A and B are shown apart, each in its own frame.
Chain A
Amino acid sequence: MSILEVTNLTKKFGGLTANQDVTMNIEAGSITAVIGPNGAGKTTFFNMITGVYQPTSGDIKLEGKSLLGLKPDEVAKRGISRTFQNIRLFGEMSVIENVLVGMHIGLKTGLLGIFLNLPTTKKEELLAEKEAYRLLEHFELAPFLNEKACNLSYGAQRKLEIARALATKPKLLLLDEPAAGMNPAETRELTEIIKNMGKEFNVSVLLIEHDMKLVMEISEHIFVLDHGEKIAEGNPEEIRTNTKVIEAYLGSGAVQTV
């Protein structure tokens, strides 16, 4: 069963076409990667899925329901969450508060409950804090819970972003270059985290990544974008030997010598 169906998705910024007729199916419970050279339109693609941009044409369906016309917070409520290429944590907030922001959606209480200080509201806030703590423990961030997010190390900030995204209890998690700027040890740790995420959090993963070792190791399926168009898809082995992909990355000269 597919969790996300994208059909003929096109995005134009004036005369510039960032995505052209991109069609892809993402299987529920899978780890899927989108790769492509810089400027291939990968981040624009993510921005359309999350509702930041509205596509010029085409459709996006999560579990069979179209996401077109929804605002980012509504898309998030449907069950899509993301991390960012350049980390965008709430730097001035504490580590646990960042995760609590992600839990906002799960808390049912309205303003009235807060003003009247109802016991159910308090109980719910407390439960949320406990759950946030469990998430932080999972990512080995619990010792820093009251630290300001901007004071964490780079690798820890990346992990916190993933924890915050998971706090919204997504069905589909988009990771935009999760390993960017990480050292090899941090990348190895991250690889394990992503690999196990599907089972532990019951989430499908779609990631953009340039670290090919990571991509080949964890992805079940790979899509390749170039100049806004999908040029190939398949499992890691198929992508590795695809001439179009090699051409896009290395130029046509490389294909003949291979």
Chain B
Amino acid sequence: MLLEMLQSLPQVLIDGLALGAVYAVVALGYTMVYGILQLINFAHGEIFMTGAFIGTAFFILLMGMGWVSSVPQIVVLIVVLVVTACLTGLLGMGIERVAYRPLRNAPRLIPLITAIGISFILQDVIRFIAELSSGNYIVTGPSLFTNQLTINFSSISSIFNDASFKTSFLIVLVTAVILMISLDYFINRTKWGTAMRAVALDRETASLMSINVNKTISITFFIGSALGGATGVLFAVQYGTIDPFIGFILGMKAFIAAVLGGIGNIRGAMLGGILLGLLEMFASANLSLLTGGVFGAEYKDVFAFSILILVLIFKPEGLLGKPTAEKV
């Protein structure tokens, strides 16, 4: 049994990293908003989904123009990523302005319910537009980066099987890593990043130190949503077919990743995402093996949510979070 698990390990690692990178970037959006507003922005999964749709629409549009085929695919991808990120960023900012800011001083449950409402609205609006324009809310984008690559793990040691992946895997991984590194730099080394951390720690004092709190929160939403939307594009490139409900389960998983790493903690979200992706792929490859066929790969979601429950029971502050002492 161990041998079989080892054999599939290279493939599990590669698939897990790509999936984990997607979780990690989406988890960043949850954790940033939570850090600054203590709000779990359940609409974030739908921002991701909206990004996937905007990106796919752009791809279809661009591919329809003859001259684009002479442009390298990677350039097209970058253009689509940037445009989609800007649009979803503005969408996130608008949602904050319209739906969350008026509730800034309301009890915390109220903006949470608003967030769920917003996510329903986004799902239905996107479904409506997709059905109106293509007759079906399940949309398939042009297939890009489909070259099959193989890494010869078997030449390293005969225990391993070879691992194979599409070029798109590589693109997802590289883009996600670039996004994470840039965000980390932004948060820790620039004036607006410092302002964001200051507002997260003490909103009132930050405003007395000349920081415009509303603007800082808007920027947080813009960046979180832009990252979510860009990841949506990557998801669409990776899987080809999307529907308006992909944001729900992926959003949940990303939320688990954020909790796993310690919600409110940026690096924690990255770590949590990668870990969750790896664990989930490991589960989907080996669950039936481990349980003698009782649970199959389709139980990988159960596995992910079990992780959430275990974290909440044994380390509720997350892997990199700090325990908060109960104030008496």
Contacts and interface: CB of A to CB of B under 8 A. Distances in A.
Contacts of B213: 73
B202 A52 contact: no
A52 B189 CA distance: 29
B63 to A, nearest CB: 28
A100 interface: yes
For chain B, what secondary structure do more than half of its interface residues adopt (helix, strand, loop), or is it mixed?
Answer: helix
A105 B201 contact: no
Interface in A90-113: 90-93, 97, 100-105, 107, 109, 111
A128 interface: yes
A170 to B, nearest CB: 9
Contact of A88 (B195, B197, B202): B202
B293 to A, nearest CB: 49
Contacts of A100: 191, 194
B204 A52 contact: yes
A125 B208 contact: no
B297 interface: no
Interface string B191-225: 11011011001101111111111000001000000
Given A90-B201, A90-B205, A111-B219, A73 B192 contact: no
A101 B208 contact: no
Nearest to A77: B210
Contacts of A125: 189-191
A237 to B, nearest CB: 34
B209 A81 contact: yes
Contacts of A168: 209-210
B186 interface: yes
A104 B204 contact: no
Interface residues of B, number: 22
A81 B208 contact: yes
Contacts of A102: 209-210
B191 A76 contact: no
Given A73-B211, A76-B209, A97 B204 contact: no
Contacts of B212: 73
A100 B206 CA distance: 11
Contact of A52 (B190, B192, B208): B208
Nearest to A114: B190
A126 to B, nearest CB: 11
A2 B195 CA distance: 33
- Range for the number of chain A residues in contact with chain B: 20 to 34
Nearest to B208: A72
B201 A109 contact: no
A11 interface: no
A101 B192 contact: no
A128 to B, nearest CB: 7
A50 B208 contact: yes
A82 interface: yes
A76 B210 contact: yes
A84 interface: yes
Contacts of A50: 208
Contact of B210 (A84, A93, A104, A114): A104
Nearest to A92: B201
A114 B205 contact: no
A229 to B, nearest CB: 26
A183 B152 CA distance: 70
A164 interface: yes
Closest 4 CB pairs of A and B: A76-B210, A105-B210, A72-B207, A101-B198
29 contacts: A52-B204, A72-B204, A72-B207, A73-B207, A73-B211, A76-B209, A76-B210, A77-B210, A81-B208, A81-B209, A88-B202, A88-B205, A90-B205, A93-B201, A97-B197, A100-B191, A101-B194, A101-B195, A101-B206, A101-B211, A102-B209, A104-B191, A104-B194, A104-B210, A111-B219, A114-B186, A125-B189, A168-B209, A168-B210
Interface of A: 50, 52, 71-73, 76-77, 81-82, 84, 88, 90-93, 97, 100-105, 107, 109, 111, 114, 121, 125, 128, 164-165, 168
Given A91-B201, A104-B194, A104-B195, 12 more contacts: A72-B208, A73-B210, A76-B207, A90-B205, A92-B197, A93-B194, A97-B197, A101-B198, A104-B210, A111-B219, A114-B186, A114-B192
